[in-house]
Amino acid sequence: MVYTNKEWTTIHQKIINKVESQLTLYKDGFPDGVYDNSTYKLCDCFSWTCGFWPAMLFLAYKNTKKPETLSVLRQFEKKQNEGFNTPEKLHHDVGFMWYLTSAQDYNLTGFKEAKVNAMNAAAILASRFNPIGGYLRAWNDDSDDDHHMAGWAIIDCMINLELLYWASEISKDARFANIANAHADSTIKNFVRPDGTTCHIVAYNPSTGAVEGVLKGQGYSADSAWSRGMSWAAYGFIKAYGYTGNEKYKEISQLVIKRFLELLGDGNVPPCDFFQPDEPHYLDSSAGAVVACALLDNAKHCPEQKDYFINEAKKLLAVLTEKCADFDVDTQGILRHSTRLYHGDGKDCTLIYGDYYYMEAIDKLVEML
Ligand code: GLY
């Protein structure tokens, strides 16, 4: 299906309508995913996914300027900031969590409190940098006597770097960006394979910085190609290019996108892992939504290939719209057929980050039409 500009605008409006019609539905936590029944499971302010629903409110507000949408967004920001009272429970995903909410709120409205909170989150993220390995530590250990994750970094962190680049621009202090650049450079070296696929987890020795191993994470195996991991790389590197102008970052984004699209083929919803067995065939629409965002940012940064990138983004978004999107205001969640991880719970479900990046991609596309 090829949509006209008017149809893309209608799809955009349907998403915004659905979000704004559910403005006050989620009160006791942050929407995380629609798993076993038809309602969103809610998460707390420490979950890496807690920023996505408020981020959808932000995108809606950016378009409609309805004061009630801003007011609910601010209530969610306040709830999210409760996480600062227990900082030991926060992790590298403060980048996703505070960039898409408070930093974006400040960028659009100039709300000072939002700037302070996003800067706090950036300082927490910067404190996770291990200079000897040149990486940001991903997760925390499970208990006080557990020290096995100090050396773990993950491909997803490429998106978290945006908060650091933003913090450098806001504070006029290059330290945040220097950390982001060091992490991006180590990711090129240790996560991105020459064929454009990526691994999920690299275990560094936290004392020497040496790479000790590559771990499976959320894909099928340590040497497979987890589609959402590739999408984080595709989008994270083009964002890093946007802040730094470093051509290498753009090249890596395009290398990963090229491989992603080759493996995907035309007309398909991405599988959870490109190297998973034929059966069972787990889909991950969320990976497609993130890659659509990456394609559109590449269009912005490559005037000579603008039409190509926009066209690929439209093709991918058309598939997601036809096969996965649910605009019914009486149901919860928007983008069906996502998978949280290959080995574990959360298959063929609706994930809040699938919803968010689908909305972000359509929002970006409509701005470019
Ligand atoms: N950042 C975790 C995920 O992509 O599922």
Question: Per-residue pLDDT tens for 333-361?
Answer: 999 999 999 999 999 999 999 999 999 99
The closest alpha carbon to 216, from 129, 271, 276, 173, belongs to 276
Alpha carbon nearest to ligand 1 atom 2, residue: 156
Quote the pLDDT of residue 145.
Answer: 82
* 250-277 pLDDT, tens digit each: 999 999 999 999 999 999 999 999 999 9
Asked if residues 273 and 225 have their Cβ atoms less than 8 Å apart, the reply is yes
Asked if residues 350 and 338 have their Cβ atoms less than 8 Å apart, the reply is yes
* 24-64 pLDDT, tens digit each: 999 999 999 999 889 999 999 999 999 999 999 999 999 99
* 286-322 pLDDT, tens digit each: 999 999 999 999 999 999 999 999 999 999 999 999 9
Asked if residues 34 and 332 have their Cβ atoms less than 8 Å apart, the reply is yes
Average pLDDT, the chain: 97
Asked if residues 215 and 149 have their Cβ atoms less than 8 Å apart, the reply is no
The closest alpha carbon to 106, from 67, 137, 73, belongs to 73
The closest alpha carbon to 83, from 52, 124, 23, belongs to 124
Ligand 1 atom showing the smallest separation from residue 229 Cα: 4
Confidence of residue 143 (pLDDT cuts 50, 70, 90): confident
**Strands 30-34 and 350-351: what pairing?**
antiparallel
Say whether pLDDT at 285 is over 90: yes
**C-alpha 246 chain-centroid distance:** 21
Mutate to test the pocket of ligand 1, among 157, 218, 339 (most ligand atoms within 8 A of CB): 218
d(CA 318, ligand 1 centre) in Å: 24
For ligand 1, residues with CB inside 6 Å are 48, 156, 218, 228
d(CA 216, ligand 1 centre) in Å: 13
Say whether pLDDT at 85 is over 90: yes
**C-alpha 24 chain-centroid distance:** 24
State which fold the 5-368 domain adopts.
Answer: Glycosyltransferase (1.50.10)
Q: Which residues contact 160 (CB under 8 A, 6 or more apart)?
A: 92, 93, 94, 95, 96, 99, 125, 136
How much is the pTM?
Answer: 0.98
Quote the pLDDT of residue 339.
Answer: 98
144-148, 207-211, 230-234, 285-289: least confidently modelled range: 144-148
* Cis preceding-peptide flag for 280 (omega within 30 of 0): yes
